[in-house]
Amino acid sequence: MEKFDFERAYADYIVVAAEENGVNVIGLTRGKDTRLHHTEIIDKGEVLIAQFTEQTSAIKVRGKAKIYCSHGVIESGSRQGGHP
């Protein structure tokens, strides 16, 4: 049986914890043209666990949430913010 590599597994995943309703989590593709390939909407108190894969090179979070990853905890802004 292969030994579990916690650091490698943790680095491949992120956890998005919504702090308001309607937080969008968007998966973006790899390759020559970056494209949206999956979207989830989560509400306050909900958690989404996402994984970077051969197809997913970036994950965008729109809305107020905490993102937990191997780099620490990152807080995203409110949906009310937006571009000027």
Give the start-to-end residue ranges of the domains of the chain: 6-76
pLDDT in tens, 39-56: 999 999 999 999 887 778
Own/partner pairs, 3-7, CB within 8 angstroms, 24+ separation: 7/70
- pLDDT band at 37, cuts 50/70/90? confident
Q: Which fold has domain 6-76?
A: Immunoglobulin-like (2.60.40)
CA distances to 3, 11, 60, 83 from 78, rounded to whole Å, are 41, 26, 14, 12
pLDDT in tens, 4-22: 555 555 457 899 999 999 9
**Is the Cβ–Cβ distance between 47 and 18 less than 8 Å?**
yes
pTM summary value: 0.77
Residue that wins the pLDDT comparison between 81 and 29: 29
